């Protein structure tokens, strides 16, 4: 019995670990390729090798073993008292380091990536803060206030959540043109601020806040705004965290709408910038993967730091009350 | 008269509520509600330099008779039929394996399967292009171990769509795993205990108790991934551009091309309306099937 249990456990872990490797491999591949040696001068054969395009593919940055190889040679040369030779190997070590990071160097020196990074970051932050404020206000009154038209407004909002976003692409494009917002960040920010998922989420969460707390504040003579700001917002913190993270993620990763309205390299967001990089430098995978790494790292950090809010957000939508 | 007076009075009394709602409502009306209705109007018009002109159902007729649209529709359906069930089955399988594990292993695997989902699809598509590279890609490298000869996956019309399907299946179903795990946690332990006493083995307990009780989650996930796969776009534009030929043309990519490359706004809107209706039909049918089965 113990043995059977152990073997079924072993199978479980094997399947899960293999699948986890499959799922993380592409992401790992981004970083490996970004840091891969693109030009290595092999002294024994006299050939110049690129490990970025090698067959079979190299599963880790080759700069690491090569660096230590040269380091060993330099140490041996020093031990033998051959200063010039040791110096030669040390130079090669520096070249390996330089080549390893050359993708990032080219990226930062030769493209607008800082600009794109900054654009993405500030747009995502502005939209996230705006959504948090507007959706909390809307969700709060939809859950806690009784007023004519409340149900109609709520169901109208829910109904539009089912409509695929592509249907509004053309009208939004025309509208943005008419409002003279083409090729501005407003064209991204305003439609993003109108997303309604958060209203739904905040309203669902507000329903669980005891109404007595809010009424008590009203009886104490607090104004509507003060009640909202001092009582409701603090109580809604967990939902705010979830909504904030999902909004940030969806704005940071959004792609289809930005490639339609942005036509100026200074205004690009990261995903749009990456696409133009791919269009221009079809062959330079090291550079492309460096760009991908720059775009991926912030989301990876956000995910690791706020994992539990991600999970809570997903389960809020899926499990019935 | 009196009734409307009372209504106005009530509205005035609740003016704070309207003020709280107003900013969001303005944005919602301006950037969602009006565009949605507008889209339906545009679908019946033709746009040119001189302005727009009503053309009745012409755009819809063009859509339904265009062979590119047929191919795009067929590709999208094929993509959906092969990715949605597999993805959901994988999510269920993985969640089942993870659920009995200890807390630490649980959160590790949950994280490992969800992490790729938070990174942009743009990045994932760029890597996979590289993974499918004919000469240097990882995919052919691993297939070589299985004795399968290398293919130029993305540039052959009979493999390109399959390459996109395989890629989607291999992107871990992180959302599904997390939702299934949460739903499994809410199934009462006593159900399993009494089934055990009745002599049900582990598989029977899973098939007779876990799977049926997870049905609301399964339905929700199916809706989500159905909508998602009908809208497949990023992989197409970044990996194949719809080609070779129109081997990987999908509906959303076609809408994008029709509107913003060919500037045929009316036609693109008609295509979008058709996509909307198809999504709606699939959603309703799926809902009906799932619930009829459950009532038996």
The model's pLDDT over B241-271, given as tens digits with 9 standing for 90+, comes to 887 888 899 999 999 999 888 888 889 999 9
What is the C-alpha separation between A169 and B259, in angstroms, rounded? 9
DSSP for B19-87, written as a single string: HHHHHHHHHHIIIIIHHHHHHHHHTTEEEETTEEEE-TTHHHHHHHH-HHHHHHHHHHHHHHHHHHHHH
pTM, rounded to two decimals: 0.86
Whether B143 and B150 have beta carbons less than 8 Å apart is answered as yes
Tell how far CA A178 is from the center of its chain.
32
A-chain residues within 8 Å CB-CB of B135? 53, 55
Whether A177 and A213 have beta carbons less than 8 Å apart is answered as no
Say which residues have a Cβ less than 8 Å from residue A153's Cβ, sequence separation at least 6: A142, B21, B25
How buried is residue B150: exposed, middle or buried, by Cβ count under 10 Å (0-12/13-18/19+)?
A: middle
CB contacts < 8 A, A to B, total 264
β-bridge pairing A48-49 and B45-48: unpaired
State whether A169 and B255 contact (CB < 8 Å): yes
- Tens-digit pLDDT profile for chain A (321 aa)? 556 667 778 888 888 999 899 888 888 989 998 898 888 888 788 788 888 877 777 888 888 888 888 888 888 888 888 888 888 888 888 888 888 898 888 888 888 889 999 999 999 999 999 999 999 999 999 988 888 888 899 888 888 877 878 888 899 998 888 888 888 999 999 999 998 888 988 888 888 888 888 888 878 877 888 888 888 888 888 889 888 988 998 899 899 899 989 888 888 999 999 888 888 866 678 888 898 999 899 889 988 888 888 777 777 654 433
Our CA dihedral for A222, A226, A232, A234, rounded to 10 degrees, sits at -120
Instruction: Report the pLDDT value the prediction gives residue A178, as an integer from 0 to 100.
Output: 87
The encoded tokens of residue B198 equal 């009745």
**B98, B238, B279 ranked by CB distance to A275: nearest:** B238
ipTM for the whole predicted complex goes beyond 0.90: no
Residues of chain B under the 70 pLDDT cut: 1-4, 48-50, 291-296
How buried is residue B275: exposed, middle or buried, by Cβ count under 10 Å (0-12/13-18/19+)?
A: buried
State whether B14 and A157 contact (CB < 8 Å): no
Instruction: Report the pLDDT value the prediction gives residue A77, as an integer from 0 to 100.
Output: 85
The number of C-alpha atoms within 13 Å of A63 and in the hemisphere containing its C-beta is: 21
What is the C-alpha separation between A222 and A226, in angstroms, rounded? 6
- In degrees and rounded to multiples of 5, residue B151 shows phi and psi of -130, 150
**B27, B36, B233 ranked by CB distance to A163: nearest:** B36
State whether B136 and A194 contact (CB < 8 Å): no
* Neighbouring C-beta atoms of residue A263, cutoff 10 Å: 11
């Amino acid at each position: 019995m113990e043995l059977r249990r152990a073997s079924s456990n072993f199978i479980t872990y094997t399947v899960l670990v293999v699948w986890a490797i499959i799922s993380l491999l592409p992401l790992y591949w981004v970083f490996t390729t970004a840091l891969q040696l693109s030009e290595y001068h092999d002294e024994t054969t006299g050939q110049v090798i690129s490990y970025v395009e090698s067959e079979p593919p190299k599963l880790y940055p080759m700069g690491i073993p090569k660096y230590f190889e040269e380091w060993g040679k330099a140490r041996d040369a020093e031990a033998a008292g051959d200063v010039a030779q040791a110096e030669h190997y040390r130079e090669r070590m520096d070249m390996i380091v330089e080549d390893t990071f050359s993708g990032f160097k080219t990226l930062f020196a030769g493209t607008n990536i800082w600009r794109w990074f900054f654009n993405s970051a500030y747009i995502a932050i502005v939209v996230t803060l705006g959504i948090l404020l507007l959706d909390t206000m809307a969700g709060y009154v939809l859950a806690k206030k009784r007023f004519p038209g409340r149900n109609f407004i709520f169901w109208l909002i829910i109904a539009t959540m089912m409509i695929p976003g592509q249907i509004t692409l053309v009208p939004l494009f025309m509208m943005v043109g008419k409002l003279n917002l083409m090729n501005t960040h407003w064209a991204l920010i305003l439609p993003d601020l109108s997303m309604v998922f958060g209203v739904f989420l905040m309203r669902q969460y507000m329903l669980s806040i005891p109404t007595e707390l809010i009424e008590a504040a009203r009886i104490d003579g607090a104004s509507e705004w003060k009640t909202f700001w001092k009582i409701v917002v603090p109580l809604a913190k967990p939902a705010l965290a979830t909504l904030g993270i999902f909004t940030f993620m969806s704005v940071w990763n959004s792609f289809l709408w930005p490639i339609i309205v942005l036509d100026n390299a200074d205004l690009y967001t990261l995903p749009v910038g990456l696409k133009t990089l791919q269009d221009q430098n079809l062959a330079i995978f090291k550079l492309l993967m460096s760009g991908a790494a720059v775009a991926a790292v912030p989301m990876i950090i956000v995910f690791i730091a706020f994992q539990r809010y991600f999970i809570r957000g997903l389960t809020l939508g899926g499990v019935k009350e | 008269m009196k009734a409307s007076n009372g209504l106005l009075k009530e509205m005035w009394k609740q003016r704070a509520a309207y003020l709280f709602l107003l900013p969001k409502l303005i944005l919602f009306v301006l950037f969602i509600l009006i565009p949605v209705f507008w889209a339906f109007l545009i679908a019946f018009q033709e746009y040119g330099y001189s302005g727009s002109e009503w053309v009745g159902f012409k755009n819809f007729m063009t859509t339904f008779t265009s062979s590119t649209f047929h191919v795009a529709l067929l590709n999208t359906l094929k993509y959906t039929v092969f990715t949605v069930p597999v993805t959901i089955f994988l999510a269920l399988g993985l969640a089942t394996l993870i659920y009995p594990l200890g807390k630490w292993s649980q959160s590790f695997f949950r994280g490992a399967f969800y992490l790729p989902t938070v990174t942009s699809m743009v990045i994932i598509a760029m890597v996979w292009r590289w993974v499918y590279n004919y000469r240097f890609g990882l995919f052919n490298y691993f297939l070589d171990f299985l004795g399968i000869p290398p293919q130029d996956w993305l540039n052959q019309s009979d493999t390109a769509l399959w390459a996109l399907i395989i890629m989607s299946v291999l992107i871990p179903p992180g959302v599904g795993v997390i939702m299934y795990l949460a739903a499994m946690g809410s199934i009462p332990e006593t159900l399993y205990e009494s089934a055990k006493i009745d002599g049900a083995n582990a598989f029977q307990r899973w098939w007779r108790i876990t799977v049926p009780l997870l049905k609301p989650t399964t339905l929700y996930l199916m809706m989500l991934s159905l909508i998602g796969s009908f809208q497949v776009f990023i992989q197409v534009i970044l990996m194949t551009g719809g080609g070779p030929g129109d081997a990987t043309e999908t509906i959303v990519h076609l809408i994008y091309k029709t509107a913003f490359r060919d500037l045929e706004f009316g036609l693109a809107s008609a295509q979008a309306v058709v996509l909307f209706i198809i999504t709606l039909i699939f959603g309703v049918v799926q809902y009906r099937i799932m619930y009829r089965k459950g009532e038996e």
